[in-house]
Amino acid sequence: MEGHHLITVNVDTADRFPQWSLQETKEFLSIRAELDRTFMETKRNKLLWEVVSTKLKEKGYNRSADQCKCKWKNLVTRYKGCETIEPESMRQQFPFYNELQAIFTARMQRMLWQEAEGVVSSTNLKKKTGRLSSDDDDDESYEDKDSGRKKKKSRSNNSTGTGSSSSANNNLQEILEEFMRQQLQMEVQWREAVEAREEQRRLKEMEWREAMEALEKERLLMDRRWREIEEQRRLREEARAEKRDALITALLNKLRREDM
């Protein structure tokens, strides 16, 4: 019991939380062994870790693809330590040594069989053998190579671009000069349009002023005529009043004379 307790502590302290149980780790290694050939044949294995995560969920263990990948790297690191540094007695404290050794042994056998069948060359075999326990770095190495190719391409583009920089500058200067000419032409046209609108507005304003002056003159004439008519009417009224007064006075005088 004490020995098993020591094994559990050594396994759990190397992993992230939540901790992996012994049974969960064994199920994980079993799934990883089934997919090992696909991992070796695939450049980018992110989707494969998703498959591992899905298969673990089917068995009742909820682990993400990143957690599975991290767990595999930790196990491989401990396997390398047991194989290259620690003595034989220390391997017993790593309970998954046999599972990992079986995975890498089967991988080596597949490579040897492929070489014997002529599927891969000896050079490719050496390359694959060199990464027997580090196949999960393919994503990073592939991206590094891709970025290196992009950097080389950009440097080559820069070297070829310097040769045509002078012609590009000349073309740019011609474009700027043409742009300035177009701007000046547009400004002249704009000024002409503004002046034409201003002249049209001035003519309309003059016409309006002349019309208003004519209306004012007509109003003054009508007012003067009305005043003349009103004056004539007043004079007629006064003349009629004088005649009426004269008739009344004459009648009164006649009546007085008759009474006398």
Q: Last residue of some domain: 145, 161, 195? A: 145
What is the spatial distance between Cα 136 and Cα 148, in angstroms, rounded to a whole number?
Answer: 20
Quick check: is 71 in a domain? yes
The DSSP line for 195-224 is HHHHHHHHHHHHHHHHHHHHHHHHHHHHHH
Tens of pLDDT, residue by residue over 36-78, are: 988 888 778 889 999 999 999 999 999 999 999 999 999 999 8
Same domain, 191 and 131: no
In the chain, % helix, strand, coil (3-state, to 5) comes to 85, 0, 15
Looking at residue 156, its pLDDT comes to: 53
- Residue 164 confidence (pLDDT): 56
Percent of the chain with pLDDT over 90: 40
> Exposed (0-12), middle (13-18) or buried (19+): which is 94, by Cβ within 10 Å?
buried
Give the structural domain span for 252: 170-260
Average per-residue pLDDT in the chain? 78
Residue 94 lies in a domain: yes
15 & 138 share domain: yes
The predicted-structure confidence for 150-203, as pLDDT tens digits, reads as follows: 555 555 555 555 555 667 777 778 888 888 888 888 889 999 999 999 999 999
Check whether residue 176 and residue 128 sit in a common domain: no
16 occurs within a structural domain: yes
List the structure tokens of 151: 């950097």
Provide the token pair at 21.
């149980």
Global pTM? 0.45
Q: Which two tokens stand for residue 85?
A: 């540094």
Q: Are residues 136 and 10 in the same domain?
A: yes
Is residue 11's pLDDT more than 50?
A: no
Task: Examine the domain organization and report whether 16 and 135 are in the same domain.
Answer: yes
Give the number of C-alpha atoms closer than 13 A to the C-alpha of residue 41, restricted to the C-beta side. 9
Q: Does residue 114 sit within a domain? A: yes
Across 15-19, 112-116, 201-205, 256-260, least confident range: 15-19
- Same domain for 50 and 91, yes or no, is yes
Q: How much is the average pLDDT of 78-104?
A: 75
Q: Is residue 1 a contact partner of residue 85, using CB atoms and an 8 Å limit? A: no
CB atoms within 10 A of CB 167: 9
